[in-house]
Amino acid sequence: MQLVVLACLAAVAVAAPQNFARYYNRPDYRHIAILRDEREDRGDGNFRYEFETENGIHVNAVGTPGSKGQSNIQGFFRFPLDNGPIAEVSYVADEYGYRPQSPLIPTPHPLPAHAIEQIRVAEEQRRRGIIFK
């Protein structure tokens, strides 16, 4: 058993530097400085954090205890897109789920007028008790 553990440790020791070197020796890799990193945890379920990097990433979140045991979190994150502009997503996460908002999130096309009219007629027929089979 000791031999197996020793062999596993030796395998990890030999493999780790290769993976580390492969990642950090890439031509496109560069260290990104953290400009700001602020964290606060009050220990009662209330927290906040914010950090910002030199390449334009900015994250902010505030959390409070939720009514059903969850954490309610409200925040945003920003990051630069490859073509230049900054993407921003604001969000709320609570007992109703994760709800992001951003102009970058695709939305469905609006329904055409005739479809809206068909839905209205169907709702009116349901109210009158008309059922189609």
Residue 103 contacts residue 88 (beta carbons within 8 Å): no
DSSP state, residue 118:
H
Q: For position 93, what pLDDT does the model report?
A: 93
Grouping H, G, I as helix, E, B as strand and the rest as coil, residue 10 is helix
Question: Per residue in 92-119, pLDDT tens?
Answer: 999 989 999 999 888 888 899 999 999 9
pTM of the model: 0.60
Query: DSSP secondary-structure letter at 56?
Result: S
Output the pLDDT for position 58: 96
Contact 96, 70 (CB under 8 A): no
Q: What confidence score (pLDDT) does residue 12 get?
A: 52
DSSP assignment string, 21-36: HHHHT-TT-----EEE
Identify the residue with better confidence: 128 or 31: 128
- The residues, any chain, with a CB within 8 Å of residue 90's CB and separated by 6 or more, are 75, 76, 100, 101, 102
Domain boundaries, the chain: 32-101
